[in-house]
Chain A
């Protein structure tokens, strides 16, 4: 009897298994095949080891650097936001969270293009600055513009998990801390921070991984001058017709993604949004 029930359960997972097989495992195997063969189909390791070619390695380092910056900035911005939010009345909180999520309903590309309009030499921001007699900003097509847009795009993925875990903290615990004479700083560092860690961990993964692999933002706001590893891979696939090289480099990038997720997941994850 139990066996049959188990089988039924497994059948429920059927569509999911098909999905995973067709759209995750199969493509992954194709990528593996391409990564370890030459364009003419002979086995090789060159595609993977070419990450050490100076150009590729440089773009990987730049990607890592920008992804770290973006994640750190999102973390620093999210805590005050989540603190402020959770001190509001519940009804208000819902409304503000809604406003916060609202931009995410718009297409991601459109939002990047909007930033392009805002930041370019004769863009809206510079027009305003000029009108009030301030010097013009010269940030378009720099790594700064790229990180800035990444932060804008990925902030909700950090803020929401942190806010979620913060709103789940029992108010009684905070009151107890105050009763026992803990100041605001002590309460934050010894109570709130540890209790929201799971949220921060999943937020970090959700920001770091897309930031590390992004190529659209650097393409549009970097003006082709900021070459991230994502751009190198995109070029290999689309411009150079070298799927083998693209797959090899993707594989290396995947190692970084999985490593960062494993590292994060190992650091106690309870109640946070599980990613793996």
Chain B
């Protein structure tokens, strides 16, 4: 009996291992943020090229890293944020992109490649997709607009139970660190401790910690204020006229979401085709309409209505960007430290 058991056990294990696929077929496996591409664009790509796209989504960059590292799926193309791009490059998980194979990448504004140098120093591994800032999306009926110029309003007891904070370590700490006047990339224990205390003090006033749903809650007017990405705010403004967006004067985070081809890629050529496809004016326009984040694509921006081009919620003006910092990747010890402090905030009463 014991032998049978062992045999069955091995059989099961073999069956499980045998599930891995080889990269023979003409496919492309993409990992991207939620709601971050027009699904129709993918269909057009499939029709035009005959490549089968397998598309997967994730919520936070940390979430992406886990999915990627779990290794169950060989991704050909990943879209993620600055500091996570940096981490992937540092760990040798990103392949060099052959920009000659992506001729349409010339449609992208060079200045965003320059911004990208903070996490991809030689612009070898990443291609910018969308960018923006982080700020406060607020309801004009409920909030005193003069006060939204500062992050401090998020600690104002008048708005108890009406504040939504990001359920994402780096973004929540960014707010606290900026109020204290520290860098959002600090690894100094004392500064982080101070930021944690501030976040714990804020917790009783917080309605909830959310990422993607913050926008929906604000449109439904379930809360007065939410810390969100600029693009999300732009989209929310379209749905509810009472909403407005502000990037506080203490400064904020400028983020760039970029594409990279990970080491697991089995279909590099298809990935390049897709990147080129994304830079195409019509497709870039479709995605802009769908995502509503600032696009680095010059042609797309030029084709927009004047009012949209001048919309400072979607396209942050230069003086705001100059006041922003880009998130840097942290080493393992600092990451662990952030995670522990964040858990302490989440567990506080």
A253 at the B interface (CB under 8 A): no
Asked if A122 meets B221 with Cβ closer than 8 Å, knowing A223-B209, A240-B339, the reply is yes
Interface assignment of A265: CB less than 8 Å from any CB of chain B = no
Which candidate, A17-25, A88-96, A186-194, A196-204, is the interface stretch facing chain B? A17-25
Complex Cα distance, B169 from A242, in Å, reads 15
Known: A17-B5, A122-B220, A240-B339. A224 touches B66 (CB 8 A): no
- B323 at interface, CB cutoff 8 A: no
Q: A55-B343, A224-B209 are in contact. Are A22 and B167 (CB under 8 A)?
A: no
Given contacts A18-B8, A55-B344, A225-B209, contact A10 B66 (CB under 8 A): no
Q: How far is the CB of B178 from chain A (nearest CB, A)?
A: 21
**B212-241 interface bits toward A, Cβ cutoff 8 Å, 1 = contact, 0 = none:** 000001001111000000000000000000
B123 at the interface (CB under 8 A from A): no
CB neighbours of B335 from chain A (8 A): 240
Contact pick for B62, options A55, A58, A120, A239, CB 8 Å: A239
Q: Whole-angstrom distance between the alpha carbons of A120 and B63 in the complex?
A: 27
- Assess A239 versus B221: contact at CB under 8 Å? Given A21-B8, A224-B209: no
The reply to whether A21 and B12 contact each other, CB–CB distance below 8 Å, is yes
The answer on a CB contact under 8 Å between B210 and A138 is: no
B8 touches A121 (CB 8 A): no
Cβ B222 vs Cβ A241 within 8 A: no
Cβ–Cβ contact B63 & A223, under 8 A: no
CA distance A18 to B11 in the complex (A): 8
| A239 and B346 contact, Cβ closer than 8 Å, known pairs A18-B11, A122-B222 | no
Q: Which residues of A contact B8 (CB under 8 A)?
A: 14, 17-18, 21
B222 with A224: CB separation less than 8 A: no
Q: How far is the CA of A63 from the CA of B167 in the complex (A)?
A: 20
Contact indicator B12/A225 (Cβ below 8 Å): no
Q: If the complex has contacts A21-B9, A22-B13, are A232 and B343 also in contact, measured as CB distance less than 8 A?
A: yes
Partner-binding segment picked from B48-56, B200-208, B269-277: B200-208
Among A18, A122, A138, A227, point to the contact of B343 (Cβ < 8 A).
Answer: A227
- Known A-B contacts A10-B1, A21-B5; A224 and B347 likewise in contact (beta carbons under 8 Å): no
* Residue A86, interface by CB 8 Å: no
Which residues of B, 28-62, contact A by the 8 Å Cβ criterion?
60, 62
A141 touches B207 (CB 8 A): yes
Known contacts: A225-B209, A240-B339. The answer to whether A22 contacts B12 by CB under 8 A is yes
Nearest 10 Cβ contacts at the A-B interface = A223-B208, A224-B209, A22-B12, A121-B222, A239-B62, A227-B347, A21-B9, A227-B346, A224-B167, A55-B347
A interface residues with partner B (beta carbon < 8 Å) = 10, 14, 17-18, 21-22, 25-26, 55, 58-59, 120-123, 138, 140-141, 222-225, 227, 231-232, 235, 237-242
Query: What residues of chain B have their CB less than 8 Å away from a CB belonging to chain A?
Result: 1, 4-5, 8-9, 11-13, 15-16, 60, 62-63, 65-66, 69, 161-162, 167, 169, 203, 206-210, 217, 220-223, 335-336, 339-340, 343-344, 346-347
Identify 29 residue pairs between A and B in the complex whose beta-carbon atoms are under 8 Å apart, listed by A's number: A17-B5, A17-B8, A18-B12, A21-B5, A22-B9, A22-B12, A22-B13, A26-B9, A55-B340, A55-B343, A55-B347, A121-B162, A121-B222, A122-B220, A122-B221, A122-B222, A138-B161, A140-B207, A140-B208, A141-B207, A141-B208, A223-B207, A224-B167, A224-B210, A227-B343, A238-B66, A239-B169, A239-B339, A241-B65
> Apart from A26-B12, A239-B62, A240-B339, what are 9 other A-B pairs with CB-CB below 8 Å?
A22-B16, A55-B347, A59-B347, A222-B208, A223-B208, A224-B210, A225-B208, A240-B335, A241-B62
